[in-house]
Structure 1
Amino acid sequence: MLIDRAKEILKNVFGYSSFRSTQQKVIEAALQKKDCLVLMPTGGGKSICFQVPALLLPGVSIVVSPLIALMKDQVEALKVNGVNAEFLNSSLTEQKQQEIIKDTLDGKVKLLYVSPEKMNTESFYYTLLQCELSLIAIDEAHCISSWGHDFRPDYKKLGYLKKQFAGVPLMALTATADPLTQDDIVVQLKLNEPIVFKDSFSRPNIFLEARPAYKRKEAILNFIQQRAEESGILYCLSKKNTEDMSRFLRSNGVSSHFYHAGMDAVVRNRVQNDFINDRIKVVCATIAFGMGIDKSNVRWVIHHNLPKNIEGYYQEIGRSGRDGMPAHALLFYGAQDYNVLAGFNDQSERKAILNARLDRMLHFARSNHCRRKLLLNYFGEWTQDDCGACDNCKDKRTLFDGTVLAQKAMSAVARLQGRLPDKLLAHVMAGNKTSEVMSGKLNTIKTFGAGADISIDDWQRIVNQLLSLGYLKVEYHLGSVLALTPLSQNVLFNGERVMLHRLDEKIKRTPKPMPKKRTASTTFSRETGLFERLRQLRRTMAVAQGVPPYILFSDATLSEMVEYRPTNEWEMKGISGVGNTKWERYGQAFVDEIKSFTAGKAKEN
């Protein structure tokens, strides 16, 4: 069976003994030539979903990817695993591109990564017509939707693919798409009865924390100094912020540099390469940095300012802990950040939706509820379970039973059936007869004024919580009207309670500093020193090969080596991430290092 061969490829090429829960289902659908929409968190293994079928099927698989760095990273990783992969984008000379196209037509390339701009050229279209195409994968598919947070016009032109290559299965993949964007991806790409695979958006290895922007400079320095050996990204709102923070960190002994679009491209690329090759530990950057970086050992992400939306925030924190090891996401927020971002939105034709998403981001930052729960509900993964491991779960705030208030609000939404704008629910509940309320005849329902004993401001806080907790949702495509969710049905009809945080808690107190998280390096190197020895060996071999260290082995793979201490080929191949090619190229050197370390320890004893 093909799926058995897929498992052999997973083990022999990529070094993993089993698929993650959703990966196998996606691969089976692709092998059956069915279109798919794949929603997986960053670090969830999306690439395996199209890379394994590509190696099983005849011909070439095309992967549309939006960023040069991402293509380069993934192609380097595939080549290290012995896979014939190439990429085409503007960073290559015309001669080099022609060589790659010739190799593709000659059947020498199994995976070809292509920029959306290249995909939309007439010359490449004729190249595709001459290829034996097995699969087309659209990575970062949220870029196709104008509702999405990272809209790219060239992605929107990709709708022609399904029409011109109807018999070729098309796989759209993303880690950051709310339900509206998910639906739009299917429409824009013209997917044919696609199977939708939704993995959990939860990243339990990332500790989530938010603090008011009070003495944030000192707080950031303290946070980083506690993690001196760890790689991290500090995201800033402006170019000036990146430069100021980098200088401040360097003056305090932190290995750091800044990165933003105003820099010379050569310098910018050097900073990026220094970071992914562990020559610098911290990059202070605008949000463009990291979008194509597969660096698996980023241990933390700090937002110096409030992000402009939850999708962007989720994508950015997802650049930490990609290896599954513990990571930390720290967010600072303040009124000034909000006002600056709202000012940017005023200049856009999409002002209303951009401001709505900014509001949701602020609600998330200020909330006293479980942060993981808020994120999951935002992406349509409805849950009432607390994670028990974010700052709000660790530092519980006073909650009260707000079930009756919630039921009143939900009843108003239900009675108005798609006619209630999100900004007017508070007025309806307080019985405030504004011109908008009266013109929309929103005062005619039975629950109008059912909460007149509560101020409009407090009702707005209640509505914000109900939105963040997933009891209500905004239908942006229908004019930003409110609608019920599966969670609200449980409250209205199944007697489930709604806990809200107190309305008089306007400002969230600064939490106590969290204890330092144990990571791959702290778990092993300080106890045995072996992890550090293996990391240095990895770095030496990576430098010799001209690739980032994590391309050879991730921190998680090194940690497993430390735990099991393999001493021969078969034991080493039992380590996750060690396939046949990696064993042949690097395995014996790591076995020798483990044996040397063990022998040295034995002599000491």
Structure 2
Amino acid sequence: MAGDPLKILRSVYGYDAFRGQQEKIIRHVIEGNNAFVLMPTGGGKSLCYQIPALARPGMGLVISPLIALMLDQVTALGEAGVRAAALNSDLDGEARRALWRQIHAGELDLLYVAPETLMRDATLEGLRNVPLSLVAVDEAHCLSQWGHDFRPHYRALADLGQIFPATPRMALTATADTPTRAEIRSLLQIDEQDCFVAGFDRPNIRYTITEKADPRRQLLAFLNEHREESGIVYCLSKRKTEETAEWLGEQGYEAIAYHGGMDRAAREKAQHRFQREDGVVVVATIAFGMGIDKPDVRFVAHLDLPGSIEAYYQETGRAGRDGLPAEAMMLYGMGDVMQRNRFIEESDAPEARKHVERQKLDALLGLAETGHCRRKALLNYFDDDCEPCGNCDTCLNPPEMFDASIPAQMALSCMYRSGERFGQAHIIDILLGSRNEKVLANGHDKLSTYGIGKDYTRPIWRDILRQIIALRLIATDSAGHGGLHLTEKGVQFLKERPTLMLRKPRPKPVTNESAARSKRSALPEKHELVFQALREKRRQIAREQNIPPYVIFHDKVLIEMATTRPASRAELSRIAGIGETKLDRYGPAFLSVIAEHAAPVP
């Protein structure tokens, strides 16, 4: 297949116009140039390499980290009429030989391959005389040792320029800060003038971050706003994923656990259910996610603090890929901070890497504790910007600030006088004048700071300590035992005593009741009946073909069908997202459903 990119966009994908920088990137690569592409999840990143691969002579080679992600892409492309396949370790001998025959016969438009498979001598030898339209490295942040998802096998891709010197190289990612972007471009020898940064904003996602109070109750309140919707709940430990999934099942949710300790068959079964069924909640560790291309994930919840802003951005970015309203909620507490610090200090990483990880954790804490727009803080981390968004908890319910200069001085002084080796609970006990055994045994009832904080409750002190940790006035000990000590910045604060404004604790954790009303806001209630009938038809076809429903049509397409009620093939073809192959394959079935609901639209 070859031709004009706009014609390919219309005939294959069913869209009349490119978005953002898509056309500029696509034409740049068609002309034979390299490209680094940073584009938010759901922004149409895959079209930036798929269309040039279709427009240029030869086969497009796409390097992807996970088999599940490759197969999802291949299935979706096949539904659109594109000749695509994946070369991976799951193929048996005959299937592998048949695929190589296709490759050498020039019968493929796109071939997906994992980096470790590509860099084998046999694979490179097999591709030696195959004309390639381009080489695209997807999830390119995996190349960088400073990225949040570094994968050693990706480092070998630094040789792509020597292996395929005459073929355009592309690096694509949705998640990379400035140092990570520079390292990716350096490794793949992509010049700065070939760099396209389309921004990070996902305006359809509502962000909420709040302190852990009663995590299960908080999660249940959040999920009750998303009944019968698909979503992901992230936990830090394998055990917690299993216990949470079991508990959610008892609460009436279709919940399944997913973690790296499960055998492969069990993981594949869980992923298969999530992709093919509506309303399934996956409770998972970070082992679940990168291979998920499901567009109608309506929510992502974190029950524990993720590892960095990059990880948080990528994990929350799995919600709302279809552009419809979605929600992200994160719960965290001091225990999470100490656990993350312990992970860093106990790792075998060199000190330079640990230093970077500490900085990344500090940045994440800053996001969690900000009293200003979450989205603005999130984008600022990636050197991007926006106006206050009106679609995060701090914008929707701005926190009240108070002068915390005196209590902060009390806390820091108490830590200093008690030896800078005790944890949060003990420091608060001293401030509140507790007479428990540990306070008395250490003689801390004799300190000048003993009992000076009685004007504040224990929850308020926890909130203050958490915020001054985020401000780097204090830090947890490097051994990870939870002891708090003053930083240089904290010592300076005690000396200079500047004004410090902190957020007042909320009386109770905030849940966004309006979020439930905002879901699928593009669909007026009067069209719900035909929309559900179209979804049922999509489910039926998907079951028959053993494919995920969303590769047939996204919810967004069904919403447009339900709203406009097309009565002919020509009218149906005007809906964005319906290419010629899908129009031929599925048009009659969906037009029939619409005809059954042919009552005049008010």
Q: TM-score, normalised by structure 2?
A: 0.81
Give per-residue Cα distances to partners, 1:484-537, cap 9 Å, x unaligned: xxxxxxxxxxxxxxxx99624375664532122422389356753111110000
| Counterpart residue identity of residue 580, structure 2 | N
Give per-residue Cα distances to partners, 1:316-370, cap 9 Å, x unaligned: 1111100000000000011111111211111221222112211211221121110
Match of 1:388 among 390, 397, 412: 390
Match of 2:374 among 371, 376, 388: 371
1:166-185 alignment, distance < 5 Å? 166-185=165-184
Cα distance in 2, alignment partners of residues 147 and 344 from structure 1: 16
| Distance of aligned partners of 1:525 and 1:238 in 2 relative to their CA distance in 1, 3 Å threshold | farther
Cα distance in 2, alignment partners of residues 137 and 342 from structure 1: 36
What residue number does 1:519 align with?
A: 519
**1:205 matched to 2:204:** yes
What residue number does 1:225 align with?
A: 224
Cα deviation, residue 277, structure 1: 0.5
Contact 1:88/1:112 (<8 A) preserved = yes
| Counterpart residue identity of residue 370, structure 1 | C
| Counterpart residue identity of residue 9, structure 1 | I
| Distance of aligned partners of 1:372 and 1:156 in 2 relative to their CA distance in 1, 3 Å threshold | same
SS of alignment partner, residue 520 of structure 1: coil
| Distance of aligned partners of 1:127 and 1:501 in 2 relative to their CA distance in 1, 3 Å threshold | farther
Cα distance in 2, alignment partners of residues 507 and 528 from structure 1: 40
1:69-148 alignment, distance < 5 Å? 69-148=68-147
What residue number does 2:365 align with?
A: 362
| Distance of aligned partners of 1:63 and 1:361 in 2 relative to their CA distance in 1, 3 Å threshold | same
Cα distance in 2, alignment partners of residues 524 and 209 from structure 1: 26
What residue number does 1:505 align with?
A: 503
| Counterpart residue identity of residue 586, structure 1 | Y
Cα deviation, residue 226, structure 1: 2.4
| Distance of aligned partners of 1:517 and 1:166 in 2 relative to their CA distance in 1, 3 Å threshold | farther
Contact 1:398/1:502 (<8 A) preserved = no
Cα distance in 1, alignment partners of residues 193 and 558 from structure 2: 38
Cα deviation, residue 466, structure 1: 11
Give per-residue Cα distances to partners, 1:171-206, cap 9 Å, x unaligned: 100000000000000111122555111112000000
| Counterpart residue identity of residue 351, structure 1 | K
| Counterpart residue identity of residue 579, structure 2 | G
Cα deviation, residue 95, structure 1: 2.7
| Distance of aligned partners of 1:308 and 1:230 in 2 relative to their CA distance in 1, 3 Å threshold | same
Q: CA RMSD in A?
A: 2.8
Contact 1:368/1:508 (<8 A) preserved = no
SS of alignment partner, residue 226 of structure 1: helix
Cα deviation, residue 164, structure 1: 2.4
What residue number does 2:539 align with?
A: 539
| Distance of aligned partners of 1:501 and 1:579 in 2 relative to their CA distance in 1, 3 Å threshold | farther
Cα distance in 2, alignment partners of residues 248 and 181 from structure 1: 39
Contact 1:369/1:501 (<8 A) preserved = no
Cα distance in 2, alignment partners of residues 528 and 288 from structure 1: 36
1:383-462 alignment, distance < 5 Å? 383=386, 385-398=387-400
1:7-46 alignment, distance < 5 Å? 7-46=6-45
Give per-residue Cα distances to partners, 1:374-417, cap 9 Å, x unaligned: 1111111145x21122100111134699xxxxxxxxxxxxxxxx
Contact 1:398/1:501 (<8 A) preserved = no
Contact 2:401/2:504 (<8 A) preserved = no
What residue number does 1:586 align with?
A: 586
Contact 2:234/2:284 (<8 A) preserved = yes
Structure 1 window deviating more from structure 2 (359-368 vs 502-511): it is 502-511
Cα deviation, residue 276, structure 1: 0.6
Contact 1:246/1:256 (<8 A) preserved = yes
Cα distance in 2, alignment partners of residues 391 and 245 from structure 1: 25
Contact 1:257/1:280 (<8 A) preserved = no
SS of alignment partner, residue 331 of structure 1: strand
SS of alignment partner, residue 128 of structure 2: helix
Give per-residue Cα distances to partners, 1:82-122, cap 9 Å, x unaligned: 11000011122233222212211110001000100111101
Contact 1:162/1:190 (<8 A) preserved = yes
Cα distance in 2, alignment partners of residues 123 and 596 from structure 1: 56
| Distance of aligned partners of 1:12 and 1:539 in 2 relative to their CA distance in 1, 3 Å threshold | same
What residue number does 2:354 align with?
A: 351
Structure 1 window deviating more from structure 2 (501-510 vs 196-205): it is 501-510
Give per-residue Cα distances to partners, 1:119-161, cap 9 Å, x unaligned: 1101111122111011010000000000100001111110111
| Distance of aligned partners of 1:188 and 1:510 in 2 relative to their CA distance in 1, 3 Å threshold | farther
Structure 1 window deviating more from structure 2 (148-157 vs 358-367): it is 358-367
What residue number does 2:424 align with?
A: none
SS of alignment partner, residue 232 of structure 2: strand
Cα distance in 1, alignment partners of residues 499 and 544 from structure 2: 56
Which residues of structure 2 form unaligned runs of 5+?
404-411, 413-463, 474-497
Identity %: 42
Cα deviation, residue 207, structure 1: 0.3
What residue number does 2:480 align with?
A: none
Cα deviation, residue 26, structure 1: 0.5
What residue number does 2:572 align with?
A: 572
Which residues of structure 1 form unaligned runs of 5+?
402-425, 427-457, 468-499
Cα deviation, residue 290, structure 1: 1.9
| Distance of aligned partners of 1:508 and 1:308 in 2 relative to their CA distance in 1, 3 Å threshold | farther
| Counterpart residue identity of residue 528, structure 2 | T
Contact 1:211/1:510 (<8 A) preserved = no
| Counterpart residue identity of residue 361, structure 1 | L
What residue number does 1:597 align with?
A: 597
SS of alignment partner, residue 46 of structure 2: helix
Cα distance in 1, alignment partners of residues 116 and 263 from structure 2: 23
| Distance of aligned partners of 1:27 and 1:501 in 2 relative to their CA distance in 1, 3 Å threshold | farther
| Distance of aligned partners of 1:66 and 1:194 in 2 relative to their CA distance in 1, 3 Å threshold | farther
Contact 2:254/2:281 (<8 A) preserved = yes
Cα distance in 2, alignment partners of residues 239 and 171 from structure 1: 36
Contact 1:64/1:115 (<8 A) preserved = yes
Contact 1:75/1:86 (<8 A) preserved = yes
Contact 1:326/1:517 (<8 A) preserved = no
| Counterpart residue identity of residue 562, structure 1 | A
Contact 1:61/1:112 (<8 A) preserved = yes
What residue number does 2:283 align with?
A: 284
| Counterpart residue identity of residue 291, structure 2 | G
What residue number does 1:450 align with?
A: none
| Distance of aligned partners of 1:531 and 1:524 in 2 relative to their CA distance in 1, 3 Å threshold | farther
Number of aligned residue pairs: give it. Answer: 516
| Counterpart residue identity of residue 371, structure 2 | N
Contact 2:83/2:110 (<8 A) preserved = yes
| Counterpart residue identity of residue 503, structure 1 | M
| Distance of aligned partners of 1:501 and 1:373 in 2 relative to their CA distance in 1, 3 Å threshold | farther
Contact 1:296/1:554 (<8 A) preserved = yes
Give per-residue Cα distances to partners, 1:201-242, cap 9 Å, x unaligned: 000000000110111101111221222121110000001111
Cα distance in 1, alignment partners of residues 115 and 593 from structure 2: 44
Contact 1:520/1:555 (<8 A) preserved = no
| Distance of aligned partners of 1:297 and 1:521 in 2 relative to their CA distance in 1, 3 Å threshold | farther
Cα deviation, residue 574, structure 1: 0.7
| Counterpart residue identity of residue 51, structure 2 | V
Give per-residue Cα distances to partners, 1:35-74, cap 9 Å, x unaligned: 1110001111100001111111111010000011110000
